[in-house]
Structure 1
Amino acid sequence: MFQERYFEDYALGEQRQTIGRTITETDIVLHAGQTGDFYPHHMDAEWCKTQDFGQRIAHGTLIFSVAVGMTAGTINPLAFSYGYDRLRFIKPVFIGDTIHVQVTIADKRDHPKRTDHGVVVEKCEVFNQRQELVLVCEHLLLAQRRAL
């Protein structure tokens, strides 16, 4: 689905929310294979029983990747991802946890070099099924301005 939105069309405080997605053991194993991150925190169930969390935890980068994918719905040909800032892993995500993402337009600003575009800052908050914040970051969207 396509929807053209110019920089001026984004309103501060505007929100959207994704549906849920359950994190599985398969997700963790595939992510470990793709990234080479086989740390015992993710892969060794017996060792994890001796640690603070008591069980395996999902890679923070896995949760970030899944969350980003969950927020990518409508394609806007007038904007594109400019990067992510202030990424924090707040709480662990375990096998069987279900996450969803809330996106809020948190800021809009001029681009320092591209006067025909502006930067839209989307605050992305990832919550588990208990509504606990597990990850937060800022998605920077480079959006075309309307011609004057």
Structure 2
Amino acid sequence: MPVNYEELTTGKYYEELEPGNVYKHSITRTVSEADNLFFSALTYNSAWLHTDEEYSKTTMWGTRIVNSMFTLALVCGVGVNDVTLGTTLGNLGFTEIKFPNPVFIGDTIHVETEVIGRRESKSRPDTGIVEFETRGYNQRDEVVVTLRRTGLMLKRSSRSDAS
């Protein structure tokens, strides 16, 4: 039997994504050494700050810091089930990405996503464009990443079961 993806959709449709809505995501994640090492290896990032503890002891951090691109990918992924699973057609862009504090191996990350703005699509009447701000925090509630992203979101009325 084929999968009915509409039944599995947990993301929000364009009409539900009101500016000012904040989604505090229930998924939290403790970052492991393997996460950092595998991500750095998979992306060919050989920066010693991520892979060499002895070198990192000589830096201002005194230990390895987690690859910031892993942190970015993690916080974006955490929000998928709550906000965009089955309702997005894709990311249109990322802006204002900031890493105000480093992530260290063993930090536990929690995430929230706020709807900043939205508008109807001019070229696709069954979609709208939504701007999100996602914020990631460590276990001490220090901000470790903020970003703005724009997504192309389906309208509920575009679904075959809409009445």
TM-score range, shorter chain: 0.7 to 0.9
Greater fraction of residues in helix: 2
Q: Which amino acid in 2 is paired with 1:14?
A: N
Report which stretch shifted further, 89-98 or 112-121: 112-121
- Unmatched segments (≥5 aa) in structure 2: 1-7, 159-163
1:15 Cα shift?
A: 1.5
- Aligned-partner SS, 2:81: coil
Counterpart in 1 of 2:48? 40
Give the match's secondary structure for 1:73.
Answer: helix
Moved segments of 4+, more than 4 Å: none
Give the corresponding residue for 2:114.
104
- Structure-2-length-normalised TM-score: 0.80
Structure 1 runs not aligned, ≥5 long: none
TM-score by length of 1: 0.88
- 1:112 Cα offset (Å): 4.7
RMSD: 2.0
CA deviation string 1:61-100 (max 9, x = no partner): 0111111221111565443232322222221000000101
Following the alignment from structure 2 to structure 1, what is the Cα–Cα distance between the partners of residues 29 and 55? 27
For each residue in 1:2-48, what CA deviation from the matched residue of structure 2 results, as whole angstroms up to 9, or x when unmatched? 14744222111111122310011111110111001011100111111
The number of residues matched between the two structures is 147
Paired residue secondary structure (2:149): strand
Contact 2:116/2:132, CA 8 A, preserved across alignment: yes
- Are 1:54 and 2:62 matched, yes or no? yes
In structure 2, the partner of 1:7 is 14
Whole-Å separation in 1 of the counterparts to 2:61 and 2:36: 16
Pairing partner for 2:139 from 129, 137, 141: 129
Describe the SS at the equivalent of 2:78: helix
Percent identity, aligned pairs only, is 28
